[in-house]
Structure 1
């Protein structure tokens, strides 16, 4: 700089990750008094703006979502809008709804259309989206599978330039991850290559998850930030006292359970808590007891109706509930307001699960995430202590990707039939083998699966090795959109309020349901 050159003080400001964003985005950040990016945003936003495929791994509450969404908004504002430009994929419908709520305000300020599409979306909304595609679409992997079947929807998706997969760890270790990896390649066949962004708080095998996201031969960047967030873990095994024996009589339960309920009650009395359990049955057992005691503690799990879950989320957020008993339904980033403490009832069984759940407490940088494991037996004490020690040391389990699962392969071969009506065998294998789990798929292996599919009339192998669609293929595809094991469910209705409460699985109905039978759901008898 030349000697004596003076820069006016009003022009001196930090050049940070926000500097590369569109003027309108920076103005909105300024209006919200957000002047400095978090560490994950500082590292991830420039990489995403440059067009790199990025896997961002950072603790809960450090601005991961904004690290991906702000560059997406920038890209949309800089582009000609002729169809959907960005697809935001989450593993849960509840998370879809939460993302829509978070993006809607930004969308209004920036004149960017945002919509959600999943199984609960009304027919009128679906038609509106088909005729007027949103700039940013929030969806699930299964709904994206359906969308690739529609002629108009395929045209809308042909303009996609960015795909974000949120909470990617939730799918990576299951067959949903393998299915998603092929699904992204099918989308690439339609829209051309697009930028891929993965978000997660806890990943034990970053390289494998990144490959699952981007495919076999694309480059990528892993942004893994070590934001200073202190965690405090405690393992307890409440011993029944005289009062617990008396409570056990009133609640018709074992004294040990009564002691555990007392511990939860005392903790919730002083701190706003999420109480995680490993099964829906455990959620209902605890929930029914707290309801008997008239404690402000609700229940939240996947078998409850959408209305019941949203009601519980809003009540907790508003402070009407001091505690919320939940399964993995609340493990991911659904916004429920401030959480002071997390209670894990029984061993979480995995380090990553404990970190994910306890990370819901102190959901901001600089706050301590505190969690207590309630051990229900001697094995729980040993396992809980081991998991808590590894969690404190940041030692996560390795994620094992499902390699070449035959059922996923058959499902996606039918998907390609739906996409193209007929497709040469070698081209289909080429598309599928771009997906990381199928990178070593041989022609012989695929031919074996195709032969079995022919026997089931799911594909017809025509002349010169062309895979042709059959009548049965469409029905199979629609009935097998997901790799989540399907189970017949029966709706439960509140006859007084005339509204849906939740569902019961087939095994429960066969074993226990009969006229006059009493059961618990939503903590109510």
Structure 2
């Protein structure tokens, strides 16, 4: 301890007398670990990356040496016109506590600290330009605008220090890639300056350090990495609540099942046992669903997520900080350092999916540098629990995922070329290339790629390019584009949700949710309350609502991809199966195996036993266990499940390869659904598991990238990305009011051989897929490092993924969860809509997006057949001028399906989308008199079960 105190004294001794006096007044006698280790190199002027959890004094770690250097410089040389330090934060509004601390230090040292972001008034901006502060706190996007203002450019010439907060968050985003070039543009103005990064725990701090300091090889030697061990500062407990008699009573009150009631009760038990609790969930949908259950029980819990209005978020933040709320239910909106006061416990509802996410969330508890942060992970089903156990163990060991840096994003290059032209008016293309490639994410950008981007910008009239003289200049569109595209965050239309009674804003809804769901009369949950839609105003982009008390509403389908489970986490789940499986095969009791798991992982016997129940049941089937190095392919009815413990991105990649190649073999469409442990394929009846296993064995690993790119060509994912990228290239001029929707299909063909298409594909590969890792899996299958086995029928493990999607709200009936599952599944299933009148129009849509009365947009006919998503051969049969007997039968069935849709609308589409329900059975179901909608779905379910029992006679 005396050595540590001496090292602490030595750290503070690096600082000037003024700062040391202020430290004493502030009550800081002993530095935190990051301060002790980072202040000496920072005081020397070195670049540094400080990696430490929330609450360890990272802001002061960075700013004390910076403020000290500025104060000493002014004492020696007098005040100067200019900004000496920039503090860049990804948060739009700096947390109020941090701002007050920085302003306090400024007052003590006679330095001015000011803030500039998108909401800063014109008057304040003018004042900052005429009389710049010593330290300016800003966002990456506002820095872009500052680099082009004549007075601000003069002020920025004096920058000696740049601190980038939450650099891990920026490193994995395009706005971070944009910032790295922005810092190189700043270097053109100010010369070399000290770069300091503040980061939560990351798996590759040296790589994040290079991201911060640039592609200059010498920067590696001067960037000090100060990494605080977090494993000793966190404690986790993983538990799946045991269902009690109270939960059975609570289930009736909450209109849900006992399992979900036990989750709600267990979370509230944790809240009751602590003074201030953060409850993290993974999606806004879950936040709203869980929040509505808490509200039903009058629990003193606020709801906080990004779709709520700014006023609503600030209100719950202030009430929680003041102790007026016992807990705050939140999404990733609370991961970054928003100031909500002291937190003494964190609950994570369901697996956090990533080690880094768990550490960041639980790290918010304690909020004192020497205090251990405590977190409870409440899990819901076996996959969820095993995954959470793996993540908790890896978090304690510090096995954190690497930051996924966006290397070479071409739309960022396009955006920054325009920025450089704004900076300089004109400059040589080679100088622009040199500046861009000094930024670490663009170190490998080739000159030919850069030239292609320049030519594209010239074609879109955003810059003038004189290739003969190697010159870039402003054009008539440069200024307009630049200020419309300060951010690399894609523009997505948001609808304001307005309470019609009070006129106040409730929150926002994504455009796709409004298009798919928001009709007058529909019910949804937001801010933990039920709302009925009264009016949708597309011109004003407003959804008007009125509050209701009915608990039977639906949850909004929030837009946003599921947090992907990494490869290493999924592999550890596979390793757990490999440990438990053989024991169950030898007849070991579940209690004994569970006891072994409690010794290895932070959990109790009940939770471990529940997590292992799926594996225990699997052993009874005598089917092989899927593990980290064994893929089990199972086949039943029209479904093949590839059990593969490779995580979301690898499974998504392998799934696309399998669906493409199996589709080519059969000439039919193949449906695809993945989770971290399964690839589920909806296949034609003639395809079995053995054929899918053959594809895994026979596919050349070097062909994966080409197969995937080909499969993406008609995907909505690529179209959506391409529209966003095209906007950043100025090909879609959104500031001129152009609508993306109708243009997207034409865009694909027009842009295929452009940098925009290349970038859209690169971004899909980066965000959603793992081509290299999937290729490696296929290589290991060929070398027999990974075993591939097949089994007939569905297994407990193979079916386990379906149970994880259960919603928190359900009807009151005894079999509510089953009926709700059927409803949810059919709503999410796809159908082919095909016009039998013109025979031209054909669309693939999820059932939930089908209108009540489908009609052909080409010829207005209502004779629309609803077909299975793999029924392309039916469309071919209808269109065939001469038909064989089989095609005649297919055509007849299509007309029967169309007649049903014409008579009964969406109800017929729902019935026809069910498994094994053809036109004749669908007509029978529709014709039956019944009291409520649930009876309709019960009849569908019964027909599906009948089909499953008798399918072998039909195939």
TM surpasses 0.5: yes
Q: Residues 91 and 347 from structure 1, CA distance in 2 versus in 1: closer, same or farther, beyond 3 angstroms?
A: same
Question: Match of 1:6?
Answer: none
Q: How many Å separate the matches in 2 of 1:362 and 1:14? A: 22
What's the secondary structure of 1:163's corresponding residue? strand
Asked if the contact 1:414–1:477 (Cα under 8 Å) also holds between the matched residues in 2, the reply is yes
Matches within 5 A, 1:45-64: 45-64=39-58
Other-structure match for 2:392: 388
Specify the alignment match of 2:483 in structure 1: 478
Q: Deviation at 1:436? A: 0.8
Describe how 1:132-211 pairs up with structure 2 within 5 A.
132-211=131-210
Change in Cα spacing, 1:137 to 1:96, as seen in structure 2 (3 Å) is: farther
* Match in the other structure for 2:526: 521
In the other structure, the counterpart of 1:277 is 281
Please give the per-residue CA displacement for 1:45-104, whole angstroms capped at 9, x wherever unaligned. 111111111111123322211111111211221233312111101111244544323212
Contact preservation (8 Å) 1:460, 1:470 = yes
Larger radius of gyration: 2
What residue number does 2:469 align with? 464
Q: Is the 8 A contact 1:96 1:116 kept in 2?
A: no
Task: Report the Cα offset of residue 21 of structure 1.
Answer: 1.7
1:377 paired to 2:381: yes
How many Å separate the matches in 1 of 2:300 and 2:375? 20
Residue 321 of structure 1, CA deviation: 0.7
1:286-435 to 2 correspondences below 5 Å: 286-435=290-439
- Match in the other structure for 2:225: 222
Measure the CA separation in 1 of the matches of 2:8 and 2:330. Answer: 43
Q: Which residue of 2 aligns with 1:267?
A: 270
Q: Deviations over 1:199-253 (max 9, x none)?
A: 1121211111111101011232212233784321111222444432332332233
Pairwise CA RMSD: 2.1
Aligned match of 2:512 in 502, 507, 515?
A: 507
Whether the 8 Å CA contact 1:276–1:344 is kept in 2: the answer is yes
Conserved in 2, the CA contact under 8 Å of 1:95 and 1:332? no
Aligned residue for 1:366, secondary structure, equals coil
What secondary structure does 2:179 align onto? Answer: helix
CA distance in 1, matches of 2:80, 2:282: 45
Preserved contact between residue 228 and residue 366 of structure 1 (Cα < 8 Å):
no
Residue pair 1:229, 1:367 contacting (<8 A) in 2 also: no
Equivalent pair of 2:231/2:397 in contact (CA under 8 Å): no
- TM-score calculated relative to the size of structure 2: 0.52
- Kept in 1, the 8 Å contact 2:231–2:396? The answer is no
Matched residue SS, 1:247 = helix
The answer for the alignment partner of 1:102 in structure 2 is 101
**Which shifted more, 202-211 or 468-477?**
468-477
For residues 339-398 of structure 1, give each alpha carbon's deviation from its aligned partner in whole angstroms, at most 9, with x where no partner exists.
Answer: 111111121111011011111111213322111112222221121111111001111112
Shift of 1:498: 4.8
Q: Deviations over 1:158-191 (max 9, x none)?
A: 2211100111111112222221111110111122
Per mean C-alpha deviation after superposition, the further-off stretch among 314-323 and 222-231 is 222-231
Stretch moving more, 212-221 or 450-459 = 450-459
SS of 1:519's partner is strand
Give me the whole-angstrom Cα distance separating, in 1, the residues matched to 2:518 and 2:88: 37
Given the alignment of the two structures, is residue 450 of structure 1 paired with residue 454 of structure 2, yes or no?
A: yes
CA separation in 2, counterparts of 1:243 and 1:523? 23
In structure 1, stretches of 5+ residues that fail to align are 1-11
Could you tell me how far apart the structure 1 residues matched to 2:18 and 2:340 are?
29
Distance in 1 (alpha carbons) for counterparts of 2:311 and 2:18: 36
Distance 1:159 1:516, change over 3 A: farther
Closer/same/farther in 2, CA of residues 254 and 416 from structure 1, 3 Å limit: farther
- Give the aligned partner of residue 124 of structure 1: 123
- Secondary structure of the equivalent of 1:55? strand
Structure 2 segments unaligned to the other structure (5+ residues): 1-5, 531-955
**TM-score of the superposition, structure 1-length normalised?**
0.93
Alignment of 1:235-246 (within 5 A): 235-246=238-249
Structure 1 stretch displaced more, 496-505 or 66-75: 496-505
State whether residues 228 and 365 of structure 1, in contact with CA within 8 Å, keep that contact through their aligned partners in structure 2.
no
Once residues 368 and 440 of structure 2 are traced to their aligned partners in structure 1, the CA distance between those partners, rounded to angstroms, is: 35
SS at match of 1:294: coil
Q: Please name the residue that 2:807 is paired with.
A: none
Secondary structure at the aligned position of 1:93 is classed as: coil
Contact 2:280 2:348 in 1 (8 A): yes
1:242-282 per-position Cα deviation (integer Å, ceiling 9, x unaligned): 43233233223343322211111111011121011111121
Structure 1: distance between partners of 2:105 and 2:331 = 30
Q: What does residue 582 of structure 2 align with? A: none
CA distance 1:279–1:95, change in 2 (3 Å): farther
The structural deviation recorded for 1:13 is: 12
- Aligned CA distance change for structure 1 residues 426 and 136 (closer, same or farther; 3 Å): same
Aligned pair in 2 of structure 1 residues 296, 63: CA closer, same or farther (>3 Å)?
same
**Cα pair 2:11 2:40 within 8 Å, conserved:** yes
CA offsets, 1:471-510, max 9 Å, x none? 2233332333222233111223445555434222111222
Distance change in 2, residues 1:318/1:97 (3 Å): closer
